[in-house]
Structure 1
Amino acid sequence: MTDARQQRIGRLAEAARLKSEEKVRSAESAIRRPIKRGEAVTFQAVQREASVSHAFLYKNPGLRSKIEYHRSRQRPPKAVPETASTDSNIVLALTAEIARIKKVHREETAALREALEAAHGENLSLRRELARLGIEGPVTR
């Protein structure tokens, strides 16, 4: 292997390590935010707050144990008062939940679009760099 290739591999490995560390810091911060707001700490909530995948949270033992610890310490939901059991209150509650879920969906979709655009841009930059260096890229089929 050439020296230049080893250097590129080293730079890529370092970049990946730094990116992973940044994701861990972001996830740890995302664990603290719902606690401060008095909300439930769940894998899904942390995933949304930190913009990381569920797999990343589950595969990282430190993050996983923190989330599970905080999740286990949460109080059970309060009993619904009898007056809230009417049909109209149920409809209002479900309508609010649907609106919240739609908002989360829109935000996640926008985040995914941005990530895809960034990936496409990075891919294009890498292809241009390969072409500039005269290196033939991978064969696509």
Structure 2
Amino acid sequence: MTRSWERNIDGLRAYAQEKAVETARRAEETIAHLLKEQHAVNFKTVTETAGISTAWLYGNEALKQRIMHPCLQQVPAVQIKIPRREQASSASKDTMIAALRQRIKKLKEENRALKQMVEVANGLLYQREGKLRESTS
């Protein structure tokens, strides 16, 4: 004679549901925190920060889309840090600026002189054409 026992798994189901809600809350908080701190939002950073599994994130479609959406908009910022010893000092920058301003001034004067030379050359050509027309008429 075998008896069939009906298992009571209601408590187990309730615990699993509570655990899923808590995990989703942690994931949401982690995503919000990462966005606020301007860190990369991807599956790796969310799983490591929230302490949840990657498989669980991929299984939760809403969170999966929430993580993938910011990934499409994020452009990795290139941050080049120049060592202190290679950075220019203020005095060095001031010297470079003064040298560049002096060079600009010199080039403007040269440009002005060249424009005057072109005007003189054009005037001479105009006079020459006028004399040529008079001699041929």
TM-score tier by shorter-chain length is 0.5 to 0.7
State the Cα distance separating 1:72 from its structure 2 match: 1.1
Q: Which of structures 1 and 2 has the bigger CA Rg?
A: 2
Instruction: Provide runs of 4+ in structure 1 moved above 6 Å.
Output: none
One-letter amino acid matched to 2:62: G
1:20 alignment counterpart: 20
The verdict on how the C-alpha distance between 1:15 and 1:69 changes in structure 2, with shifts beyond 3 A counting, is: same
Find the aligned partners of 2:35 and 2:79 in 1 and give their Cα distance.
Answer: 21
State the Cα distance separating 1:2 from its structure 2 match: 4.3
- Cα displacement string for residues 36-58 of structure 1 (whole angstroms, at most 9, x for unaligned residues): 11111111110011110000111
One-letter amino acid matched to 2:51: S
SS at match of 2:52: coil
- Matched-pair identity in %: 31
Aligned length: 80
SS at match of 1:11: helix
> What is the root-mean-square deviation in Å for CA atoms of aligned residues?
1.8
- Cα displacement string for residues 10-69 of structure 1 (whole angstroms, at most 9, x for unaligned residues): 000110011011101110111111111111111111001111000011111000000000
1:35 alignment counterpart: 35
Find the aligned partners of 1:60 and 1:46 in 2 and give their Cα distance.
Answer: 13
State the Cα distance separating 1:75 from its structure 2 match: 1.9
TM-score (norm 2): 0.53
State the Cα distance separating 1:79 from its structure 2 match: 6.1
